[in-house]
Amino acid sequence: MKNKKISSNTILLFITIALFVVMYAAGCIVYSAKGFSHLQTFLNILINNAGLLCVACGMTCVMLTGGIDISVGSLIAMDCMLLSVGMERWHMNAIALCVLVLVIGIVFGLVQGFCIGYLEIQPFIVTMAGMFFGRGMTAVICTDQVSISSNKLFVALANMKIPLPFGAYTSRRGIVQVPYIRISVVIALVVLVVIFLMLRYTKFGRNLYAVGGNETSATMMGLNVKKTKLKAYVLSSFLCSIGGICYCLNTMSGSVQQAKGLEMNAISSAVIGGTLLTGGVGNVIGSFFGVLINGTISTLVKTNGKLLSSWSNIAVAALLCFFIVLQSIFAKIKNSKN
């Protein structure tokens, strides 16, 4: 009985955590001269990937139902563009704009969720159309690169440093450096905790697992599969909009090419974190580590300084491939046991 509890999914999660630790430790040893081992490096990974973390949480929920959402990257680009154009050109209130972005996210998710849940179109097709729609709409809003500088509230939020009470160190010049995080990290971590609790303790959370595990039996149990799917996509797009605001707080600009390939990072984070592509199995904690691995790879490539940035893309794709193969091998073993 106890043996059975350590299932292949737990093994996948352990592999992920071990991989992160090994990767980070290797980075600390190789790049210790460049300050990789400071706490702030780790916090910077969190700061840079706060948006991705929100998106990965939404992606995990969608993938639990057996679907996928590849529109997230373009939706973030659209959000950032709307925020920056809204503040710089239309001189709108930052809070009103944020609310508008969230509402757009919900509407976006409603349309996608309706097509997937009620019209039974393949999620990939719908969200791919969503991806091109989002990217195109970004260009419709504005084709220039717009950076935010005039909105005082937003700039203050973006520059706000939240110091941590521990981990202070003295730099080589003798200045005490207090490690800090930014507001986007706080938002992302709150999202992470809320989604974790939701998946574990609420009816909707359990429904997601049931729908992904076996759609037919979920229907027979009396679950409203269509509605659950619709809600999952609305949640994903909503979280993606929150992620978009976090992303915008980091980049402080909007451009058509922004967040290109982010869907890939979000999917690979979820997959690396042990979420099965077939649905029904997964956890946001795993996705959290997936995001950290993603961030570590890009930080390592950046710290090296000599490598082209496309290396981090290739490394993430290779990792995704590795974990997909691992998953399918586990699935084959499981099938042969049955």
Partner 1 sequence: MSKIKKITGQPLFLPIFCMLLVMAVNIFYDLGSGRFAFNFFTVSIRNGVLYGRLIDILNRGSEIAILAIGMTLVVSASAGTDISVGSVMSLTASLCCMLLAGYGVASTNTLAVPLIVGVLAGILLACVCGAFNGFLVAYLNVQPMVATLILFSAARAIGLLLCNNLIVYVRNDAFKFFGGYLGFIPTPIVIAAICIAVVSLVLKRTALGMYIQSVGINKDASRIAGLNSEKIIFLCYIVCGLMAGIAGIVASSRISSADSNNIGLNYELDAILAVALGGNSLGGGKFNLAGSIIGAYTIQAITTTLFALGVSSDQAPVYKAIIVIIIVAIQAPPFNAWVKRLSAKKALAKGGA
- Which residues bind to partner 1, rule: CB under 8 A? 68, 70, 115, 118-122, 124-126, 128-133, 135-137, 139-140, 143, 256, 261, 264, 267, 277-278, 308, 310-311, 313-314, 316-318, 320-321, 324-325, 328-329, 331-332
Number of H helices, E strands in the chain: 15, 6
Q: At what angle do helices 203-213 and 225-251 cross, to 10 degrees?
A: 110
Show Cβ contacts of residue 273 under 8 Å, excluding neighbours closer than 6 positions: 13, 16, 56, 60, 282, 283, 284, 285, 286, 287, 288, 289, 290
- Tell me which residue has tokens 């992606």: 59
CA–CA separation, 245 and 139 (whole Å): 18
Backbone φ, ψ for residue 163 (5° rounding): -70, 145
The C-alpha atoms of residue 68 and residue 91 are separated, in whole angstroms, by 36
Half-sphere exposure of 135 (CA within 13 A, CB side): 17
Tokens of 225: 């599969």
Residues contacting 117, CB < 8 A, separation 6+: 225, 226, 227, 228, 229, 230, 233
Report, in Å, the least distance between residue 308 CB and partner 1. 6
